Chains A and B, each alone.
Chain A
Amino acid sequence: MAREYRTLKTEVRLPYEVAYGATWTRFFEGLKDKKIYGTRCKECKRVLVPARSFCPRCFVTTDEWVEVKEEGTLVAWCYTNYRYFGMPIEPPFVTGLIRLDGTDVNFLHLIGGFDLSNFEEVSKTLRNGIKVKAVWSEERRGHILDIRYFEPV
């Protein structure tokens, strides 16, 4: 592969307007009021968060709404410190898999509230099994980042 030939620099940019539907409109509107909503399945009794319109396992409509605790247990985490095109969150950041109290699935969000610049320091602070609690943004617009992050309690 000695010789290299010409390349073309190109881009695909497409606009979308994506429908939330009734269930996710209610879930995301809830975030404005600092409330995290789940729905309970009437068959398997699991509390699913974020709220779902139906239970993925039982395939029944889930219309029992539950206000979920904003505290939970850190189940797993990862520290990301690299970039790619269109990345929605500025690195470095920590993603956490969180089991919110009283729910039956793991919830994804950011872990923060302390210095994230040094990985070694982060790894001393974070351990699987610790309790974490939501920290809310001042400005809330019905978006998943209305929760700024979960911080260790």
Chain B
Amino acid sequence: MARAVAVVGVGQTHHGRRMDVSYPDLVREAVVRVFEDTGLSPKDVDGVVSGTMPSMMEGVALTHLYFAEAMQAVGKPILKTETCGSTGVSIAHTAFYWVASGMAEVVLAVGHEKMYEGDSQATMTTVLDPFYQRYFLAGAPGVFSMQSQLWATRYKIPQDKIRDAAAFISVTHHQSAFDNPYAHIKMKVTMEDVKNSRIIVYPIRLLDVCPNSDGACAVIFASEKVAKRLGRKVAWVKGVGYRGDEQFFGDSDKVVWQSAIEAAKQAYDQAGIKDPLKELDVAEVYNPFTYQEMIFYECFGFCEFGKAPDLVLRGIFSREGELPVCPSGGVLCTNPIGATGLIRVAEAAMQVTGRAGEHQVPGAKLALAHAMGGIDQFNGVMILGSEL
């Protein structure tokens, strides 16, 4: 690893249906909060990196230009990083590289989305090639449905067990969202509610699926020198990993999923993590679909392949379990896509600095943040720790 880099502060909007603000004002809400949190001001910032999912979600193509004022980027270098659902983690990686390289001391990272202003599923199909795949992959749920079947078939996991574990995950996250002041969906949910909710794309039901959300997140990355000058607890970047698959969905294995496995391994190797289940204190896994969350557990080495449903049902990943996953309520309850991955990083930073409030995991020192993007194509991981 190059120079030490820390997340010195975070800011989030209240996520949800935000037709009360314009898109630039929504972005500014998060940016104001990160300056309040850190005590830094725009003049301290050396560079700004931002991103959204496909820009066409809101019909404005170059959002980093549109938000130059809202991000206080006028007179500074601006970058945009866009990797579909993993955009937020990619923004964090870009800001990290910038500071780690020694070319900047302080970088502001901003992720944003306003999904209620467009048609999210229609936007997502424009990610696919126009000749072939666009006809058959109807938005995100279809892709995840097929992935979960491939997984269940490979490991001969009984459908009932998977169904129970997915419902358990949904109940846990919906309960956690009540403890997160910024979360979008706050709804009391029982196992029966999940299992009886409307089918979206078999076997995935409404309560297995994330919402559309409007929201933004801002995070400031700084050098060791600046971080120490601030005189507050910061979250140190211990490792980063990112990998991509082929663009054709049918070309690669989405169960023993190399981009997820290798992205985590790269980050673990840098952070010196050998046994993630034991060493990590909390994980913010990108989980727009309950079923897919279990595939990530396996690819990230939290358990053996095919075993995640058993561990889920034993409460290993619950708030009081061995490795709490998404105490924020996760993507399942809040998904402004371009911000979502950066929210995972912000939440991980809040956990290891003891600033997560009602959803704090007591004593958390090492956290994983993750996001996935494209047609199951990209995976990015960042490990944050309380110690340098």
Contacts and interface: CB of A to CB of B under 8 A. Distances in A.
A105 B132 CA distance: 15
Interface of A: 1, 3-5, 7, 10-12, 16, 18, 20, 24, 28, 48, 50, 56-57, 75-82, 84-89, 91, 93, 95, 97, 105-110, 119, 123, 128-129, 144-145
B135 A88 contact: yes
A60 to B, nearest CB: 15
B20 A1 contact: yes
B122 A87 contact: yes
Given A18-B130, A78-B201, A82-B200, A7 B136 contact: no
**5 smallest beta-carbon distances between A and B, as pairs:** A106-B250, A76-B146, A84-B121, A78-B145, A85-B122
Interface string B138-155: 110110011101100100
Given A85-B119, A105-B248, 7 more contacts: A12-B56, A12-B59, A75-B150, A88-B134, A91-B138, A93-B138, A108-B136
A144 B135 contact: yes
Contacts of A18: 130-131
Contact of B138 (A75, A76, A95): A95
Nearest to B245: A56
A78 B142 contact: yes
Nearest to B22: A5
Contacts of B138: 80, 82, 84, 87, 89, 91, 93, 95
Contacts of B249: 97, 106, 108
Nearest to A126: B202
A32 to B, nearest CB: 15
A108 B201 contact: no
8 contacts: A1-B17, A5-B20, A75-B150, A78-B141, A80-B201, A97-B146, A144-B132, A145-B135
B131 A84 contact: no
Interface in B222-273: 246, 248-251
Contact of B149 (A10, A48, A89, A128): A128
Contact of B132 (A82, A95, A108): A108
Given A4-B20, A12-B59, A84-B122, A89 B135 contact: yes
B149 A1 contact: no
Contacts of B56: 12
B139 A4 contact: no
Given A1-B20, A24-B131, A87-B138, A79 B251 contact: no
A109 B136 CA distance: 6
Contact of A76 (B132, B134, B135, B149): B149
